[in-house]
Amino acid sequence: MELKIIKWLSPVISIFLFFSYVDAAVNPLSSKKVLTIKTTKDTSLSGLITSSGYDLDDKDLEIFLRDFISINKNIKSLSTIPKGTILRLPLKNLKVRERKIARYQKGESVGAKKNPYLKLPRYDALILKNIKFLIDSLADGLSMKSDGIKVFSVDSKSELSFNTSFFPLIATKDNTIIMLDYKGILPKEIKDIIEKNWPEYKVVAGYEEKDIKNIINLLLDSMGYYSFSDSKIILGGKPKIEIFADFVIMKKNDDILKGKFIAINILKPKEYRSPDELIKWAKDRDITIIELPLKEPPLHHKRAKVMFMPEEEAGKFYERFLTLLGYKFRKGMNLKLSDRKEYEFNIKAALTITSGNRTKIIDFSETSEQIISYAKRRGFDIINIDSHEKHSETIRKIIGLLMINYEDKPETTSSYLTPKGVKYRLTVPGIIINSKNRLFLLIDPETDTEFLSTLVSESVTLIRY
């Protein structure tokens, strides 16, 4: 007779179907390495190993079965061993387990701490944590369990068990149970067996693409959600925030124009979590943001610094502004515009800055075009600042006088303001100045700097005037 074994055995799932066997040509084992057992109830080989206080690793399965069959020629089925059977367990490839796991009937589970295979790799544990967080955040009558072993009898000769730490079970409101194979390791044949024998179970597995994004997409569909991958949500006016979501979802039975939208972000290890202020700001606008980090703890970017320039008298305002930009200045200097003996031409400057080979003059009184033209020929640059001018206008004059690089188009300044590695893009009206010290954003006094500082890159200092 020919030995036919159909087997699947891993730390997470096992099913044995044994039809017949013949003698295995192996040497008998030493009696010192064998445990003789008389079964007290009908059981299976995997159940017997477990109840005897041992574990069997995948890598040792083939050798163990060879040794077991060679010394137990009276055993005709490994999935059904009758009560009162005397058999011998070769101990060479078994290891003592710390705790015993009792056998349970359909629908019952073993506590997570008693599961010998429960210790998940850190990444897998993080994936499960994220999936549970997603389900809890949806608050749609869903619940997830991933804390033990489920054991089912397929028929009188076969038994199926799986570890819910690797195959979490998600109960829905309509009594459907979703079995999530987030690693894509469950054979399709087993999936068919489960769904055929237990119609209330639905297996969701990413057989083609085994990444978390694909699994979440399949899971959302099975839970009754439309999902739009790699979508963008635009919120606000000034400032405007574009949220780049891995998924934008809504319930299938909701009106697409009136339904509630949810943005789901999958944060890669080098990506930053969105500030709590942004999540609250979006929620106030009927957009829920759920973020699932693939790194623990997730990254948080720092707040941008905010500086205030209260509207005091003109001279004090511009002195403070020049100091922020990193420029030294002198007040009330008498400058000689002519060095001839025949005549002198002097001018008293309100503020004087030396930059490069030229002297820059800021004056707060009317200076004629002729004087400005003559001063430039003599190596001086002058601007007039009228007390009635808006600060936004006079600041541009000073920037031009000092020949500082700046950007004032929101589409361009966005690349400076938005931190690297975030899931949003920030557009704010204002002037970005690349000063000697750092980048500055001069913003309108009506802008909410408290909120904006949580969104802007920490390399930028916000100046409110």
Region of 50 on the Ramachandran plot (φ > 0 left; ψ -120 to 50 alpha; else beta): alpha
Residues 53 and 175 occupy one common structural domain = no
| C-alpha to C-alpha distance for 111 and 390, rounded to whole angstroms | 70
Whether 12 and 148 have beta carbons less than 8 Å apart is answered as no
State whether the Cα torsion 402-405-409-410 is positive or negative: negative
Residues of the chain predicted below pLDDT 50: 1-31, 99-118
Residues 314 and 269 occupy one common structural domain = no
Strand 149-155 and strand 158-163: the pairing is antiparallel
| C-alpha to C-alpha distance for 426 and 451, rounded to whole angstroms | 12
Range of the domain at 285: 225-293
Backbone dihedral angles phi then psi of residue 150, each to the nearest 5 degrees: -100, 135
Q: What's the chain's Rg over C-alpha atoms?
A: 37
Place of tokens 């033209």: 373
Predicted confidence at residue 109, as pLDDT, reads 40
Predicted confidence at residue 18, as pLDDT, reads 32
Please list the residues that pair with 162 across neighbouring strands. Answer: 13, 150
Domain final residue pick, 293, 313, 336: 293
Please state the pTM of the whole predicted model: 0.67
Domain count, the chain: 4
Domain final residue pick, 277, 293, 309: 293
Residues 348 and 391 occupy one common structural domain = yes
Q: Answer yes or no: is 101 within a domain.
A: no
| Coil vs helix vs strand at 299 | strand
Predicted confidence at residue 112, as pLDDT, reads 35
Question: Dihedral of the CA atoms 370, 375, 380, 382 (nearest 10)?
Answer: -30
Residues 254 and 311 occupy one common structural domain = no
| C-alpha to C-alpha distance for 269 and 229, rounded to whole angstroms | 20
Residues 346 and 432 occupy one common structural domain = yes
Residues 325 and 465 occupy one common structural domain = yes
Nearest to 34 by CA among 105, 100, 87: 87
Residues 203 and 251 occupy one common structural domain = no
Q: Answer yes or no: is 104 within a domain.
A: no
Residue 123 belongs to domain with CATH number:
3.40.1350
Token code pair at residue 397: 């004059």
Whether 427 and 278 have beta carbons less than 8 Å apart is answered as no
| Coil vs helix vs strand at 391 | helix
Domain final residue pick, 40, 61, 96: 96
Predicted confidence at residue 209, as pLDDT, reads 55
Nearest to 264 by CA among 419, 146, 172, 137: 137
Q: Answer yes or no: is 403 within a domain.
A: yes
Place of tokens 């400058």: 335
Q: Answer yes or no: is 24 within a domain.
A: yes
Residues 35 and 16 occupy one common structural domain = yes
Q: Answer yes or no: is 106 within a domain.
A: no
| C-alpha to C-alpha distance for 177 and 141, rounded to whole angstroms | 12
Residues 28 and 116 occupy one common structural domain = no
10 Å CB burial of residue 443 (0-12, 13-18, 19+) is: buried
Residues 218 and 233 occupy one common structural domain = no
Residues 375 and 306 occupy one common structural domain = yes
Residues 262 and 376 occupy one common structural domain = no
Q: Answer yes or no: is 240 within a domain.
A: yes
Predicted confidence at residue 27, as pLDDT, reads 41
Predicted confidence at residue 267, as pLDDT, reads 93
